[in-house]
Amino acid sequence: MHLIDEIYINGRFETPIGTDFSDLHNPATGAVIGKVRLGNEADADRAIAAAKAAFPAIAATTGQQRLEMLHALHDAVIPCKEELLAAVVEEYGGPVGIMHNWMDMMGHNFLAMAEALKNYEFVRPIKATRVEMTPVGVVGVITPWNSNAGFITNKLATAVAAGCTTVIKPSEMSALQTDILIRALHKAGLPDGILNVVNGRGDVVGEHISLHQDIAKISFTGSTRVGKRIWRNGAETMKRVTLELGGKSPTVILDDADLNDIIPLAIAAGFLNSGQACVAGTRILIPRPMMKQAEDAAIAVVKAMVVDMPDNPQSQIGPMVSQAQYDRVQGYIHKGIAEGARVLIGGPGHPEGLGGYFVRPTLFGDVTNDMTIAREEIFGPVLCLIAYDSEEDAITIANDTDYGLQAYVFSSDDERAYRVARQINAGRVLVNGLFHEPQAPFGGFKQSGLGREFGVFGLETHLEPKAIHAREFPA
């Protein structure tokens, strides 16, 4: 049994003032595997005070000093990859073969931000004015359970590059991963107070951080519902916010696409991270005359997928993270059936031979874009196949959503695919493949969020421009 009973404040591991504990579960079995002691508002206050006290010193560092910190952080996390991988498999249920690649991305986040920082101009002359890009202050970071280490390293890297300090509230369901990661990052030797981490509930520690007057900015990844609350809370003290929220991403397959090549990619995009991904392409848009062929191809792909215990290197889909998430996905499957969608494969219940929080990967046919399963984010391996009648119709359906985080377009004609991609209202559109460019901006339109992360675009959300007017500036 694991016991996580320390938080990290001002460069030291400390026992929380909070006395509540939360169980940690193995999603593959449902068994309790440990406990985490939760911090409270007083713990958050201590962390915020440490970050506030440390801010002037890091704000005064040079770009070169921040580059050295980013490289030190990268070097510190590399040795913990295998231990962290084991924790992700046990605590989150991520399939080991897939999560192995995610561990590499975790460390690369520091190098990617170092690349963005390397040639960034913090001081820019505009005629007789000097514009200085200044760090915003203490950043409150709130991360979800579906890629805990990746979100922490990306957000920490951005704050360090900008010269900000952080108070991080990770998901309490990811406490084992967090503990391993923070003990590794501690070895980077950052000045005390730059990195502070408080385990706790979102409605306690997260709420306190979002309201605190000494937090200048919030960087949050999670649900749209919680993001709206954080934005409202932040308005009380005019906080800057970056919100990366939900998605209901369309995958547009044009009528010149080769279904045999494209359907496996479309299914992969929909089942990313066992379906627990905000960028998952959960609405697959198919030309009506090609629907039967697409259904048959999609059924064959899903039927061949390995759904098994996450420590099986061949497993492609793992369990949902919790009983609550399992129940949520089951509820949407039942709702889809009740609204008249047709189950092509999958359906309610557990896959054969598996218990815990596993769900059956499910494809729905006969879906119209007004159905609940096509409107709301399910966050599980449940995909909707939706017919369209023309290219214009496909674009209309793709954009007929409250979200706008990511989209996918597939065509044998790259120019045509690009033309369609430009008409889709999403923060990122992937054309004829599954890609990730860490220097490109990431974030959403509409209810998928505010602001952008990654590269220079993410860096500048942590900076405020200050215009200084003078008769003459020193050389």
Q: List active site positions.
A: 244, 278
Angle between helices 175-186 and 63-77 (to 10 degrees): 130
User: What does the alpha-carbon distance between residue 445 and residue 397 come to, in Å, rounded to a whole number?
Assistant: 16
Query: Would you call 131 helix, strand, or coil by DSSP?
Result: strand
Q: Measured between alpha carbons, how far apart are the two ends of the chain, in Å?
A: 62
Nearest CA to 110 out of 62, 156, 63, 64 is that of 156
Which tokens hold the place of 185?
A: 């990052």
CB 31 within 8 A of CB 15: no
Residue 409 makes CB contacts below 8 A (sequence gap 6+) with 251, 252, 254, 417, 420, 421, 424, 429, 430, 431, 432
Burial class (CB in 10 A: 0-12, 13-18, 19+), 292: exposed
Nearest CA to 382 out of 336, 323, 447 is that of 336
The residue with tokens 């509540």 is 20
CB 95 within 8 A of CB 319: no
Strand partners, 469: 129
User: What does the alpha-carbon distance between residue 3 and residue 285 come to, in Å, rounded to a whole number?
Assistant: 46
CB 79 within 8 A of CB 184: yes
